[in-house]
Amino acid sequence: MMYKIELRPGVVRQVKKLPEEVRDWFFEVTENLASNPTPKNSRTVTNSPYMRIKPDRHIDNLETKQYKAVQNYRIVYLLHEESIEVIVISIAHRKEIYKRLAKF
């Protein structure tokens, strides 16, 4: 079963500002979410309906250089199983991502 991937408008602006390695990782991960919306490196954010993914060197097949560039970034998304949809809410550095979630 393939899930529909939807990007919030703010995510598109955020992605444009990211370094190239992070952008590449983001597109690969979001593409994989269509077939597997709950990979091993995803977790539910405490006290919220959101899920987050942090980079994993082995799961994402990242080279050392790319892993060093992306290791502090997180992708936050909302999974709607009944409508078979994944809504990507935000991508940001780990220091900022949870502050952004408080605004939603």
Q: Is the pTM of this model over 0.85?
A: yes
Closest CA to 76 of 97, 47, 58: 97
Say which residues have a Cβ less than 8 Å from residue 92's Cβ, sequence separation at least 6: 14, 73, 74, 100
47 pLDDT tier (thresholds 50, 70, 90): confident
55 has a pLDDT exceeding 90: yes
What would the pLDDT profile of 10-42 be if each residue is shown by its tens digit? 999 999 999 999 999 999 999 999 999 999 999
Closest CA to 90 of 25, 3, 7: 7
- Integer Rg of the chain from CA: 13
- The answer to whether 29 touches 22, Cβ cutoff 8 Å, is no
Mean pLDDT of the chain: 92
Structure tokens at 53: 């993914």
Where do the structural domains in the chain lie, given as residue ranges? Answer: 4-102
State which fold the 4-102 domain adopts: YaeB-like fold (3.30.2310)
